[in-house]
């Protein structure tokens, strides 16, 4: 090989190296400040720079394999390619995260069998535009598919009230992957009963969204949930009990419901009233702005117990809310005793209530004679009768008397241990005045009290009047009579004498 050929070859290699360095330098595309503002345009620029750098790197590798460039030149091309690739990936991720969006497809409030309220929340990845986005920037490579642009990872959802307090259980629900076109449903137990709630979402790289929505009704359910806080009450015979009812619509089918009572004995009257207890009602109607109604069930017991109403025995019964159009489907509503299982099979709203009839003793006091007239030193006896005119036994009946000062009293018996329904008991009271009692009228107050079912009961107070009369003087009376006789005799004698003259 001649010296001139060697010189020419060396010159060609130098020129190729200089050209390669210049071409490599041209593929480097530094970050533009406005790429953060216009991320899609920045992604286009980064993609073009990445493709140029990759093409140049492939060409440099071929030249290196032919020993036309040095290792340093190849390393420089690899570094530029790596920078362009990282820049492209960052731009792509920035655009993908910016386009992520989650929509609330539905939030349905429903009533479970155990009485708790739930919200069935359905979320969807509506970032959309994946195909349009791909066509717009002409991306169809492995990197784009690896980044899964149609998937939102780590979605956290919570239910909040107006005070931003969490009211759903679990407090925070996680969806690991939410894929485009594949909505997912999560279920929350409501810790606070509300008709509207705020759904708070955190997803992707920390994006947040908060939306307040009105909870929907379940279009597949036709029922009203019935609840009562006073579900078990004790009522005295002859009195009434009031059950406050809360009716909440969970139906997407009907809006008018009839209220019925089953399993309650016929001797017990019942009537539904408005919350103010002023208007009787039989049906309730809901609208979109009012899905909760208040009502009152008034139960009145008879004055006496009977075969169907037994004392101190619980009477369970049910309040039903039946869609009007379904009443004809239940012809034997009031002619049979319903079980909870049978009511569940009807798929209607109901609540179990309980009534415990209680009797109440009524203490009547009768006294045939409450006025006595006597002389000093005598004792006045008053007979009284205690009668239980109520519907429950009376216990520990005590009789008290309040005579004037220095009088003595005697009550037999002082305490009556028990008095059954309709039973009578005679009481004798004796009152003795002091020896130096003055003539006049004196009053004695008589009180009676007892217990019925541990509760105090009193009889009517009685006031007895005792008159103390003055004692008669026999000697004085005899002298007066003798004096009258003498006068009368003298008058007669004088008259006879006058007549003889």
pLDDT tens readout for residues 378-401: 899 999 999 998 878 899 999 999
Choice among 111-120, 292-301, 437-446, 489-498 with the minimum mean pLDDT: 489-498
pLDDT at 18: 41
Tell how many helices (H) and how many strands (E) occur in the chain.
7, 28
Query: Domain 224-358 belongs to what architecture?
Result: Sandwich (2.60)
190 has a pLDDT exceeding 60: yes
User: For a pLDDT cut of 70, what percent of the chain falls above it?
Assistant: 83
pLDDT at 476: 63
1 has a pLDDT exceeding 50: no
pLDDT at 145: 56
The answer to whether 395 touches 450, Cβ cutoff 8 Å, is yes
Would you place residue 14 in the very low, low, confident or very high pLDDT band (cuts 50, 70, 90)?
very low
Q: From CA 147, how far away is CA 215, in angstroms rounded? A: 35
pLDDT at 139: 56
Q: From CA 238, how far away is CA 301, in angstroms rounded? A: 5
Would you place residue 5 in the very low, low, confident or very high pLDDT band (cuts 50, 70, 90)?
very low
272 has a pLDDT exceeding 70: yes
Domain ranges for the chain, please list them. Answer: 3-98, 102-214, 224-358, 363-469
Q: From CA 359, how far away is CA 388, in angstroms rounded? A: 12
The 8-class DSSP code of residue 106 comes to E
477 has a pLDDT exceeding 90: no
What Rg do the C-alpha atoms of the chain give, in angstroms? 52
pTM of the predicted protein model: 0.56
pLDDT at 314: 87
The Cβ-side half-sphere exposure at 501, using a 13 Å CA radius, reads 4
In words, the CATH class of domain 102-214 is mainly beta
363-469: CATH superfamily = Immunoglobulins (2.60.40.10)
Mean of pLDDT over the chain: 81
235 has a pLDDT exceeding 90: no
The Cβ-side half-sphere exposure at 257, using a 13 Å CA radius, reads 31
4 has a pLDDT exceeding 60: no
pLDDT at 390: 81
Token code pair at residue 348: 């209607």
pLDDT at 99: 62
pLDDT at 410: 92
Q: Tokens 């004692």 label which residue? A: 471
Q: From CA 469, how far away is CA 437, in angstroms rounded? A: 10
Dump pLDDT digits (tens) for 411-457. 999 999 999 888 999 999 999 999 888 889 999 999 999 998 778 88
Dump pLDDT digits (tens) for 39-57. 556 667 777 788 888 888 8
The answer to whether 439 touches 422, Cβ cutoff 8 Å, is no
Residues shown for the chain:
501
Range 171-181 average pLDDT: 88
The answer to whether 181 touches 131, Cβ cutoff 8 Å, is no
225 has a pLDDT exceeding 50: yes
pLDDT at 146: 55
Choice among 21-30, 310-319, 350-359, 444-453 with the minimum mean pLDDT: 21-30
95 has a pLDDT exceeding 80: no
Asked whether the domain spanning 363-469 has the same topology as the one spanning 102-214, the reply is yes
More confident call, 237 vs 191: 191
């Amino acid at each position: 090989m001649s010296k001139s050929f060697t010189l020419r070859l060396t010159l060609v290699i130098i020129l190729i190296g200089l050209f390669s360095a210049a071409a490599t330098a041209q593929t480097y595309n530094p970050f533009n400040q406005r790429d953060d503002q216009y991320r899609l345009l920045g992604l286009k620029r980064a993609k073009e720079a990445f493709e140029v750098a990759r093409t140049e790197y492939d060409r440099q590798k071929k030249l290196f394999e032919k020993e036309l460039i040095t290792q340093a030149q190849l390393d420089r091309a690899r570094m530029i390619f790596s920078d362009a690739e990282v820049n492209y990936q960052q731009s792509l991720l920035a655009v993908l995260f910016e386009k992520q969006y989650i929509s609330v497809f539905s939030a349905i409030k429903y009533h479970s069998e155990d009485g708790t309220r739930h919200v069935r929340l359905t979320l969807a990845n509506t970032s959309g535009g994946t195909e349009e986005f791909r066509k717009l920037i002409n991306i169809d490579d492995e990197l784009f598919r690896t980044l899964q642009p149609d998937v939102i990872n780590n979605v956290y959802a919570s239910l909040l009230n107006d005070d931003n307090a969490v009211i759903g259980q679990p407090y925070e629900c996680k969806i690991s992957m939410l894929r485009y076109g594949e909505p997912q449903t999560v279920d929350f137990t409501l810790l606070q009963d509300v008709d509207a709630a705020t759904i708070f979402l955190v997803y992707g790289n920390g994006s947040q969204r908060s939306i307040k929505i009105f909870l929907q009704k379940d279009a597949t359910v036709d029922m009203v949930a019935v609840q009562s806080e006073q579900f078990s009450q004790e009522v005295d015979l002859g009195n009434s009990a009031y059950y406050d009812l809360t009716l909440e619509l969970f139906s997407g089918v009907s809006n008018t419901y009839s209220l019925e009572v089953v399993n309650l004995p016929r001797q017990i009257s019942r009537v539904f009233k408005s919350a103010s207890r002023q208007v009787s009602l039989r049906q309730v109607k809901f609208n979109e702005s009012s899905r909760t109604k208040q009502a009152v069930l008034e139960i009145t017991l008879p004055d006496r117990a009977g075969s169907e109403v037994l004392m101190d025995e619980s009477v369970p019964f049910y309040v039903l809310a039946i869609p009007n159009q379904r009443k004809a489907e239940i012809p034997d509503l009031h002619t049979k005793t319903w079980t909870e299982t049978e009511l569940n099979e009807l798929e209607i709203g109901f609540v179990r209530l309980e009534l415990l009839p209680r009797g109440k003793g009524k203490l009547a006091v009768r006294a045939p004679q409450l006025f006595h007239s006597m002389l000093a030193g005598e004792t006045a006896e008053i007979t009284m009768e205690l009668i239980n005119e109520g519907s429950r036994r009376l216990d520990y009946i005590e009789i008290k008397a309040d005579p004037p000062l220095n009088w003595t009293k005697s009550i037999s018996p002082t305490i009556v241990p028990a008095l059954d329904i309709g039973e009578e008991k005679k009481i004798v009271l004796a009152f003795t005045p002091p020896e130096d009692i003055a003539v006049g009228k004196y009053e004695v107050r008589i009180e009676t009290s007892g217990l019925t079912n541990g509760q105090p009961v009193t009889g009517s107070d009685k006031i007895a009047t005792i008159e103390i009369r003055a004692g008669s003087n026999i000697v004085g009376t005899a002298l007066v009579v003798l004096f009258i006789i003498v006068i009368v005799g003298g008058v007669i004698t004088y008259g006879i004498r006058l007549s003889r003259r």
